[in-house]
Chains A and B, each alone.
Chain A
Amino acid sequence: MINDAGLVWAVVAVTFAAMVAGRFIVRRFRTHWRPIPAYQILPTLAADAVESAKRVHFSLGSSAIGETSTLAALVSAEVVYRLAERLAISRQLPLITLSHPVTLPLAQDTLRRAYLYRRTLDYYRSSASAWYPPGTAFAVGAASLSADIDADSNILLGRFGPELAFLGESALRHNQALIAHSDLLEGQAIAFAQAGEVLLGEELYAGPAYLGGTALERGSVLAQDVLRWLVILGIVLAALQTI
Chain B
Amino acid sequence: MGSHRLIRLLSSVLVISLGLTTLVGLSTAEGTPPADFAAFVLSLVMVIAAVAVFVGVINLLAVHLGRVRRAERGWPYSLLAVIVALGVIALRIADRAELWSGDLEGEQLSERAFEAVQVSLESALAGLVLFFLVYAAYRLMRRRVTVWSLVFTGALLLALIGWIPLDGAEVLADARAWFIRVTVGGGARGILIGVGLGTVAAGVRVLTGQDRSIRG
Which residue numbers of A lie inside 8 Å of B, CB to CB? 1-2, 5, 8-9, 11-12, 15-16, 19, 64-66, 71-72, 74-75, 77-78, 81, 100-102, 104-106, 109-110, 126-127, 129-133, 135-137, 140-141, 144-145, 147-150, 162, 165-166, 168-169, 172, 183, 185, 188-190, 192-194, 200-206, 208, 214, 216-217, 220-221, 223-224, 227-228, 231
Contact = CB atoms under 8 A, between A and B. Distances in A.
A203 B194 CA distance: 8
Interface string B34-51: 010000000001101100
Nearest to A172: B139
Given A74-B213, A130-B63, A137-B118, A19 B202 contact: no
A13 to B, nearest CB: 9
B201 A144 contact: no
A162 B131 CA distance: 12
Given A15-B204, A101-B54, 11 more contacts: A12-B200, A66-B46, A66-B48, A102-B49, A104-B56, A104-B59, A148-B67, A205-B202, A214-B210, A220-B204, A231-B197
Q: Is the interface of B mostly helix, strand, loop or mixed?
A: helix
Contacts of B57: 131
Closest 6 CB pairs of A and B: A205-B198, A101-B56, A202-B198, A5-B27, A201-B194, A101-B52
Contacts of B67: 148
Contact of B198 (A105, A106, A131, A224): A224
Given A130-B59, A130-B63, A228 B197 contact: yes
A220 B213 contact: no
Interface stretch (B99-107, B119-127, B167-175): B119-127
Contacts of B35: 1
Contacts of A131: 56-57, 59-60, 63
Given A66-B48, A71-B203, A202-B195, A110 B213 contact: yes
Contacts of B29: 1
B199 interface: yes
B198 to A, nearest CB: 3
A193 B72 CA distance: 32
Interface residues of B, number: 68
Contacts of B28: 5
B153 to A, nearest CB: 9
A134 to B, nearest CB: 10
Nearest to A17: B204
B195 A77 contact: no
A153 B133 CA distance: 20
A206 B66 CA distance: 36
A71 B212 contact: no
A216 B55 CA distance: 35
Contact of A19 (B77, B121, B201): B201
A2 B26 contact: yes
Given A2-B27, A148-B74, A188-B191, A137 B52 contact: no
B216 to A, nearest CB: 8
A71 B211 CA distance: 10
Given A19-B205, A165-B129, A204-B198, A66 B213 contact: no
Contacts of A223: 201, 204
Given A127-B62, A131-B59, A205-B202, A165 B133 contact: yes
Nearest to B85: A133
A227 B202 CA distance: 13
B178 interface: no
B79 interface: no
A126 B28 CA distance: 41
Nearest to A220: B201
A52 B211 CA distance: 32
A224 B200 CA distance: 8
A201 B198 contact: yes
Given A78-B212, A194-B136, A104 B55 contact: yes
Contact of A12 (B132, B140, B190, B207): B207
Contacts of A11: 200
